[in-house]
Structure 1
Amino acid sequence: MNNIEKVFSHGKAFIPFITCGDPSLEITEQLVLAMERAGADLVELGIPFSDPTAEGPVIQAANLRALSGGVTTDKIFQMVRRIRTQSQIPLVFMTYANVVFSYGTERFIQTAAEIGMDGLILPDVPFEEKEEFDAVCQKYGLAFISLIAPTSHERIACIAREANGFIYCVSSLGVTGVRSKITTDLGSMIALVKQEKKIPCAVGFGISTPEQARRVAAVADGVIVGSAIVKLCGQHGCGCIAPVTDYVRSMKAAIADL
């Protein structure tokens, strides 16, 4: 059983996303440790990119703040090395194909594996084009995590069959961001996955309140929250650790007994 599988083996998983370097890499490092203490089961680390097409305004703004603060992929790798001296919480990078390409696909994935990352999510790489990344991830033991959307329909079975780690189920069409309600039939989407492969399904995009988290976790194996946390980082800057910790604790508590 790998690190990611372990996450889902003891109840519903809470998976927070943060943008590396917003407000600073020092704070990002502290946030990972604080969120783990607050009950986070796996953390998605966003590597900032100048044109993050899947992101709404909150995460776009965080990307720009981080990049203007001088964040680079190498500096993020160094931060992960420091985190790994203090924590073994599963960590997954979320970024864009261009970031990996420009670094060198093999060099990026090999380094990510060496520093102790567990997986990689590239939301702009469609299933049909994943092979060049997936093959290298398999070579170095990194899970290349697939996304399915409400429009994936007949492709869901194909995606599930080849999936690793967990499946990222996109709850709503459009970009990331807080939504007042989620109308997608998540249950049938997840059922299609499970028919093909016994792989955990975590739902993200639009979840921001404990009530939403609880409703989603009733049908899914995990809940992913990004924009609501990144918003707190934007609002509080270097003082974000306490409010983010409280938020993560409340979200984990909402799904803990399911």
Structure 2
Amino acid sequence: MTSAPSALESVIDAANRERRGALVAYLPVGFPDFETSVAAAIAVVKAGADVLELGMPYSDPVMDGPVIQAAAVQALEGGFRTEHVFEAIRRIRAEVDAPIVVMTYWNLVMQYGVDAFARDLAAAGGNGLITPDLVPDEGAEWIAAAKSHDLDRVFLAAPSSSDTRLDLVIGSSRGFVYTVSTMGITGARADVDQAARTLADRLHAHGCTRACVGLGISTAEQVREVLEYAEGAIVGSALVKALAAGGVEAVAETAAQLARGTALEATTSKEHA
């Protein structure tokens, strides 16, 4: 018997029924300061983001590009602590209904306590975790905690992933599969790799129904391109850059522009391989 979709899955599915797909917006908690980060998160949802991805600043963000690394440094220097993520979620949840997933390096969860983190995330109104440096075959403790607290668990698939690895990632994930479009670090790029389309096609062939592409998307046209073959487009660096340059108003405008890439056109229809 197939379980009912989670809230996150339902939002992604609705975006794909009603538009081209979902826009997932990433912002780090505590940048440029805690209050502004909360206001920015609320603003991007009101501007059209379907899902909010909140980043936990970390001292050694091996997957992040220079824009997000700089934001993490500023947040840490401003006194960011893990507890701030839960407070941010509570504040955001009071204003908007979009699903909220936390992107975090695994060491922070381990330091807090895996079950305690899951408990407090669920209590705050969060929907799940994206764990870029935790592979499913080493994630039994997190998977158990997530199931216990009804949280989504988002694992990563990369262009280099074997078919066996893809099956493991799909089977272990709930919410969506984070589909890495390039081999490397995050950051806006002029072109989103052909590798993203190939990987999304492979994921769909292996039974994945919600592939969201991240790393390198920075324009509405790129969002539109990605949503031709994936269920969601994840944007981070472009939003963080806008927030750094122009504050909440600028990040809201950038989110609104990106959201235009999810709009259906009368003469086109979405197709998956």
Q: TM-score, normalised by structure 2?
A: 0.89
The code of the aligned residue for 1:96 comes to Y
State the one-letter code of the partner of 2:248: I
Task: Please list, as runs of the form range in 1=range in 2, the aligned pairs for 1:228-243 lying within 5 A after superposition.
Answer: 228-236=238-246, 240-243=247-250
The answer as to whether partners of 2:243 and 2:251 remain within 8 angstroms in 1 is yes
The yes-or-no answer on 1:5 pairing with 2:4 is: no
- Could you tell me which residue of structure 1 aligns to residue 267 of structure 2? none
1:98 aligned residue: 107
CA deviation vs aligned residue, 1:38-88 (integer Å, no higher than 9, x gap): 111000000111111111111111100001001111122122112222222
CA distance in 2, matches of 1:82, 1:138: 25
Residue 28 in structure 1 maps to residue 54 in structure 2:
no
Alignment of structure 1 residues 49-60 onto 2, 5 Å:
49-60=58-69
Deviation (angstroms), 1:198: 4.5
Q: Which amino acid aligns with 1:26?
A: E
Cross-structure match for 1:39 = 48
Tell me the amino acid that sits aligned with residue 62 of structure 1.
A
1:203-218 equivalent positions in 2, closer than 5 A:
203-218=213-228
Compute the displacement of 1:109 (Å).
1.0
Q: How many residues align?
A: 255
Q: Tell me the equivalent position of 1:254.
A: 261
Q: Alpha-carbon deviation of 1:186?
A: 2.8
TM-score (norm 1): 0.94
Q: Distance in 2 between matches of 1:202 and 1:43?
A: 13
Q: Which amino acid aligns with 1:202?
A: C
Structure 1 range deviating more: 146-155 or 57-66 = 146-155
CA RMSD of aligned residues (A): 1.4
Deviations 1:179-211 (A, max 9, x none): 121233333322322233343111000111112
| Residues 1:174 and 2:181 aligned together | no
Which one-letter code corresponds to 1:250 in the other structure? Q
Opposite residue 25 of structure 2, the aligned amino acid is P
The one-letter code matched in structure 1 to 2:207 is: K
User: Which of 145, 169, 194 lines up with 1:184 in the alignment?
Assistant: 194
User: Which region of structure 1 is more displaced relative to structure 2, 3-12 or 223-232?
Assistant: 3-12
2:46 and 2:96 in contact (8 A); partners too: no
Which of 215, 221, 227 matches 2:231?
Answer: 221
- More off after superposition, 68-77 vs 91-100: 68-77
How many Å apart are 1:235 and its aligned residue?
A: 2.2
Match of 2:88 in 1: 79
Please say if residues 180 and 196 of structure 2, whose CA atoms lie closer than 8 Å, have aligned partners that are also in contact: no
Task: State, as a whole percentage, how many aligned pairs show the same letter.
Answer: 36
Structure 2 distance, partners of 1:75, 1:157, is 35
Residue 135 of structure 1 pairs with residue 152 of structure 2:
no
Task: Check the 8 A contact 2:134/2:155 in 1, yes or no.
Answer: no
Further displaced range: 90-99 or 190-199: 190-199
Moved more, 199-208 or 28-37: 28-37
Q: Secondary structure at the match of 2:13?
A: coil
Alpha carbons of structure 1 residues 162 and 75: separation in structure 2 relative to 1, 3 Å: closer
Q: 1:136-156 CA deviation, whole Å, 9 max, x = no partner?
A: 111111111011011113211
Instruction: Compute the displacement of 1:217 (Å).
Output: 1.0
Shift of 1:133: 1.1
- SS of the aligned residue for 2:170 comes to helix
3-state SS of paired residue (2:194): coil
Partner of residue 114, structure 1: 123
